[in-house]
A = this chain, B = another copy of it.
Amino acid sequence: MILSALLTSVGINLGLCFFFFTLYSVLRKQPVNVVVYAPRLLHKEKEKSEPREDEFVLERLLPSTGWVRQAWDVSEEELLSNLGLDAVVFMRIFIFSLKAFAFAGVVGMFILLPVNYVGSQLEIDFADLPNKSLDSFGISNVNNGSNRLWIHFCAVYVFTGVVCYLLYYEYSYISSKRITFFYSSKPQPHQFTILVHGVPVSAGNSVSEAVESFFTENHPSTYLSHVVVRRTNRLQGLINDVEKMYRRVVHLKSETQSSQRVKREGFLGLFGRKVNLLEHCEKKLEELEDTVRLEQSSFAGEEVPAAFVSFKSRLGAAVAVHIRQGLNPTEWITESAPEPEEVHWPFFSASFMKRWIYKLIAVIAVIALTILFLIPVVIVQGLANLNQLETWFPFLKGILSLTVVSQVITGYLPSLILHLFLSLVPPVMIMFSSMQGYISLSQIEKSACTMVLWFTVWNIFFANTLSGTAFYQLNVFLEPKNIPKVLAEAVPAQASFFISYVVTSGWTSLSSEVCRLFPLIWSYVGRLFAGKDDDDFDVPSIPYHSQIPKILFFGLLGITFFFLDPLILPFIVVYYALGYIIYRNQLLNVYAHKYETGGKFWPIVHNSTIFSLILMHIIAIGTFGLKKLPLAASLTVPLPVLTLLFNEYCRKRFLPIFEAYSAESIVKKDKEDQNDPSISEFYDKLVTAYEDPALLELRRSRRRDGHTSPLLHDA
C-alpha cells in the first residue's frame, strides 16, 4: 500500500464517521427514536412516571455536538452510581489504552518513524512522499545490522516498562474501587447465600431434608434457610407461552376496531367458522394458566441435588464457600451464589461427573471452533463466488455480467460472509459457556468474553499473519524454537493490512455502535408492521462479551506493531479517543446493567495486555535476529521473563481481591449489619430471594392501564 492510498482510505472513513455522528445527533433528537437511543433513560423516567414532552422545534433537525459534551462531562461517580462498577471498569479500558498509546504514539512518531524512514534497506527510490510505500515507515526499512536498531531495542524496553506501570496502577486503582464499592453496598442476598451442588441423598430422604440436617449440624450458629433447586425447563416454556398469549390479548384489546377481533378458526384464519378472536385468546390464556398452576403444584418430585443455602452473616457464607464441606470432595460442592436476578436457571446438571464432562466438551468445542473456524468460512466464500452464483441462480446472469456488480460481489461478498460468520461467534461462545455449567449470567459472559478474545486473536491476528493452511499454522506451534523467526517474518508484512483494519473495521464499528442501525431499523419495522407501541421495549444490557474482546484486540495490534510499524499508532489513539466518548454516551443513554460483578472483567484486560507484550517481545527477538543484530535479540530474552514475573506478582497482589472478599472486610460489613435495625426485614426477604421464578404463584394484577396481567408474585 502506498501512502496516498492510505490517506484516501483514512479520509473516506473519517468522512463516514462524521456523517454517522451527524446523523446520530439528529436522529437521537426525534422522539420516535427515543426507544432506540435512550432506552435506559426512558425506562428510568417510566419508573418515575415522568411524561416525555413531544413538542416540535426546529432545533430537532439540526446536527449538534451537545451529546459529546454531555458524555464528556459525566464523572466516574455518576457512572458508578448509575451503572455499577463494571461500567467504570469498562471505561477504564479506554483510559488505560489512551495513556499507553499516547506515550507509544509520541515515541513511535517522533523517534522510531524518522529512524525507519532514513533507512535504505528496502531500496525504494526517493520518489515523492505520497507515492512512498508504507513499508518505508516500518522497521523493515532499517538497514540490517545497523546500530539504529538499538533505538528500537530501547523503545521496546521503555514501552514495556510504561505499560507495566500503567497496568499496575490500574489494577491497584480498580482493586481499591472494588473494596470501596463493597463497603458502600447495602446487604444483598448473594452476599449471604451460597449454592451447594452434589447433595448426597440417602434413600427415603429428600434433598431438602439432607441440606437442612447437614447445615444445622455443621453451621449451627450461622445457617438461616435454604431453597432446593428444581428442574423447571418445561414449566418455564409454559410460562413463556402464557406471557406471549397475554401480550396478544392486550394488543387485541387495545385495537379500536372490534371487527379485527373476529377471525375464522381454520387454516391461517381464512376458513372455518368465525370466532371472536379476543374471546378465543382469553379462553386459551386461562387454559394455559391453569396448566401452569397444575404443573407448579405437582412439581415437588423433580428436585435437583442442589440448593441455595442462606446464612445469617456474610462470614457464615464465606466459611461455607471456602472450606470444603463434605468428606467426599465430589459432594457438597459449594460456590458463591450469584445475584438472584442473574441466576441461570435452565442449566442445573445433576452430578459432579456430568458437570465435569460438559465442561470438557465445551472446552474442546471452543478449541475446535477457534482453530478450524476459517475452514468452513473459506469454503463458503469459495461457493459464493461469481461462477458459482451464476450456476445456482441463472437468472442473475445478466446482472452479474455488469462490471460494477461483479466488482462489488468479488470485493465485498467474501468480506461480508466473513463478518457474518464473525458476528455469530459471540452468541455461539455464550452457548458453549452456558454448557459449562456456570450458574450465573455474569460468569457465562465472563467466560464467553475470554473465549471470544482468544478466538479474535487467533482468527484475525494469527490466521492473517500466518497465511497458508490451518495445518501449517498448527505446525509452527509444534516447533516452539521457530516461532520468533516465523512471526518476525510474517507480522511486519501485514502492517498495512492491519492499519486499514483499524481504520475501517475499528472506526466503522464505533459509528455503527453509536448509530445503532440495526435496532433503529428493527424499531421502525416493528412499529410499521407488527404494530408495536413505545411501551414495548427492552433496555439492552452492556454486551461485555462481544465489546471487550474487540476493544482489546486493537490494543494487541497497537502493542505488537509499536516498534514494527509505528504508523499504526495515531489511528489506534483516534480509535480509543472516539471510543471513549461514544461508549460513555452509550452507557449513559442506552445500556442498563443486568448484573454487578464488582469489576471482575479487569483481570481479562490485564492478562490480554500481558499476552500482547509477550507477543511483541517474541516478535522483537525474531526481528533483531533477522536484522543481524543477535546481541539485541539475546538481550531482549530477559524482557518476556521479567514481564511474566511482573504478571505473577500482580496475580498474587491483586487477583485474590477479585476472587473473594477478605475476612477483614466481611467481618466489618457484618458488624455494621448488627447495628442496622432493618436487618431482620432483610432476613425475611433473603429466605425467598432464590425461589425459581418459574415456581412463583401466577398472579393477575391490575396495571394502571386496566389490563389484567399474569405477573409473577415477587415478594
**Residues of A that sit less than 8 Å from B by CB:** 179, 214, 217-219, 315, 318-320, 322-330, 332, 352, 356, 360, 478-481, 645, 649, 652-657, 660, 662-667
Contact = CB atoms under 8 A, between A and B. Distances in A.
A330 B652 contact: yes
Contact of A322 (B323, B479, B667): B323
A479 B477 CA distance: 10
Contacts of A665: 327
A656 B327 contact: no
A478 B481 contact: yes
A654 B219 CA distance: 24
A656 B330 CA distance: 10
Which label, helix, strand, loop or mixed, suits the secondary structure of the A interface? helix
B652 A356 contact: yes
Contacts of A330: 652-653
Give the interface centre of A326, A328, A652, A663 by most chain B CB atoms within 10 Å: A663
Nearest to A666: B323
15 contacts: A179-B327, A315-B319, A319-B323, A320-B663, A322-B323, A323-B666, A324-B662, A324-B663, A327-B662, A327-B665, A329-B655, A330-B653, A356-B649, A478-B479, A478-B481
B653 A329 contact: yes
Given A479-B479, A481-B479, A663 B218 contact: yes
Given A325-B662, A326-B662, A652-B356, A217 B667 contact: yes
Contacts of A360: 645
A144 B218 CA distance: 64
A219 B481 CA distance: 53
A203 B657 CA distance: 26
Nearest to A221: B221
A652 B329 contact: yes
Contacts of A329: 652-657, 662
Contact of A323 (B318, B478, B479, B653): B318
B664 A326 contact: yes
Nearest to A667: B218
Which 9 interchain pairs have the tightest Cβ spacing? A329-B656, A322-B322, A218-B667, A323-B663, A324-B662, A478-B481, A325-B663, A322-B323, A319-B319
**Number of chain copies forming the complex:** 2
A643 to B, nearest CB: 15
Contacts of A319: 315, 319, 322-323, 663
Contacts of A480: 478, 480
A243 B480 CA distance: 58
Contacts of A356: 649, 652
Contacts of A315: 319
Nearest to A179: B327
A436 to B, nearest CB: 15
Contacts of A656: 324, 329
A327 to B, nearest CB: 5
A345 to B, nearest CB: 25
Contacts of A649: 356
A664 B217 CA distance: 9
A655 B324 CA distance: 12
Nearest to A660: B324
Contacts of A662: 323-327, 329
Contacts of A322: 319, 322-323
A318 B480 CA distance: 44
A352 B660 CA distance: 20
Contacts of A653: 328-330
Given A352-B652, A478-B480, 16 more contacts: A219-B663, A319-B663, A322-B323, A323-B660, A323-B663, A324-B656, A324-B662, A325-B664, A327-B662, A328-B653, A329-B652, A330-B652, A330-B653, A332-B664, A356-B649, A480-B480
Contacts of A655: 329
A339 B329 CA distance: 25
Nearest to A328: B653
Give the interface centre of A322, A329, A666 by most chain B CB atoms within 10 Å: A329
Nearest to A319: B319
Contacts of A667: 217-218
A479 B482 CA distance: 10
A326 B663 CA distance: 7
A326 B654 CA distance: 12
Nearest to A477: B480
Nearest to A659: B324
A319 to B, nearest CB: 5
Nearest to A478: B481
A375 to B, nearest CB: 21
A478 B480 CA distance: 6
A479 B478 CA distance: 7
A328 B352 CA distance: 34
A667 B324 CA distance: 12
A40 to B, nearest CB: 33
A382 B596 CA distance: 68
